[in-house]
Structure 1
Amino acid sequence: MKIAMKSVRKLRVHWPIASETFSRLARGDAEAFKDEAGIAALLQASSESPDLGDFGNYRHVFESGLGFEGFTCSEGANPTLGQVGQRTISPTFVFTTYFDAALPDAAVERFLQHIVDIHPWEVPVIELTGPVSVSSATLPAVFESEAAS
C-alpha cells in the first residue's frame, strides 16, 4: 500500500472551557464534549460544514488538546473573563481540523465568521495555515502506478 497525500489548510481554534470540563477531558471523559455548551456549539458548527475534516470515508475529523491561554486586558477591552490590567489564565480546549486547500476563500470566510459569532471571547484566537500536506488515504498496490503518473 502507498499513502496518498492531499493539500489542505489547517484550522485551529482556541476555546475557553470551565475548569471542571478541563479536568473531565484530561481524565478521558468524552461525555464532557456534550456537556460543555461552547465545545458543543463549536462541534455543531464544524459538523454543519461538509468541507471541514473531510478525509474521504471519514467526515468531520478533528483533533483536540487541552491547555491554557494567558492574557492581560488593556484599557478599552471588554473581557468575558478577567479584569483590565490583570493577568488572566484560562483553561482552554484547542480544536484542530483540516479542509481542502482549494476551497474558495468565500467558504472559508463564512465558516470563520460563524466561529467568531459564536465564540465567547472579544478577540478569539483562530489560526489558519497556508497549504500543508496530510495523508488522505492508502492506495492499493494496483493504483500505485496511476497515482505516480
Structure 2
Amino acid sequence: MKIEMKSVRKMRVHWPIVAESFSRLAKGDVEAFREEAGIAALLQALSDSPDLGDFGNYRHVFESGLGFEGFTCTEGANPTLGQVGQRTISPTFVFTTYFDAALEDAAVERFLQHIVDIHPWEVPVIELTGPISVSSTALPAIQVSGAAS
C-alpha cells in the first residue's frame, strides 16, 4: 500500500458532559452521542460544515476521547459550573477533527465562532494547530509482473 499524505490543520474542542453520559460513552454506548445534547450539537456543527472532517470518500470524520477538565474560577468569572474560588473538575468529551490547511481564514473563523456560540462554557477550550500531515488515502502498491506478493 502506498500512503498519500495531505496537509491539514487539526481542531480539538473540549466539551463538558454529565457524568452519566461520560459513563455511557466509556462503556461504548454510541446512543449517548445522540442523547447528550452538547455532543449532538457539536456533531451537527460538524455535519453543517463540509470543509471539516473531509477525507475524500469519507466525510464528517472526527475522533473523540473522554477526560476531565479542571479549573478554578476567579473574581469576575460567570461560570456555568463551579463557584468562584473553588477547584472544579468536569467530565469532558474531547472532539478532534481536521480541515484542509489551505482553507481560507474566514471559513475557519466562522466555524470557530459557531463553536463558541453553542459551547456552554464562558471560555471554551478550543485548540487549533498549524499545518500537519495526515494520511489521506491508501492506494494498493503497483504490482510488478512476476513479483512475489
**What TM-score do you get using the length of structure 1 for normalisation?**
0.94
Unaligned runs of 5+ in 2: 143-149
Measured in 1, the distance between the counterparts of 2:85 and 2:21 equals 27
SS in structure 1 of the partner of residue 124 of structure 2:
coil
Equivalence map 1:53-132=2 (5 Å): 53-132=53-132
Aligned residue for 2:71, secondary structure, equals strand
What's the offset of the Cα at 1:138? 1.4
Q: Deviations over 1:21-41 (max 9, x none)?
A: 000000000000001000000
Match of 1:27 in 2: 27
SS of equivalent to 2:113: helix
Q: Which has the larger radius of gyration?
A: 2
Distance 1:118 1:141 in 2: 45
Letter in 2 for 1:90: S
* CA RMSD between the two structures: 0.7
Q: CA deviation at 1:141?
A: 3.5
Which one has the bigger helix percentage?
A: 1
CA distance in 1, matches of 2:108, 2:21: 29
Q: Secondary structure at the match of 1:6?
A: strand
Q: Equivalents in 1 of 2:102, 2:140: separation in Å?
A: 25
The size of the alignment, in residue pairs, is 142
TM-score using structure 2 length = 0.94
What is the deviation of 1:9?
A: 0.2
Letter of the structure 2 residue corresponding to residue 89 of structure 1: I
Structure 1 residue 10: deviation in Å? Answer: 0.2
Identity of aligned residues (%): 88
Q: Please state how far the C-alpha of 1:140 moved relative to its aligned partner.
A: 3.6
Runs of 4+ in 1 over 4 A off after TM superposition: none
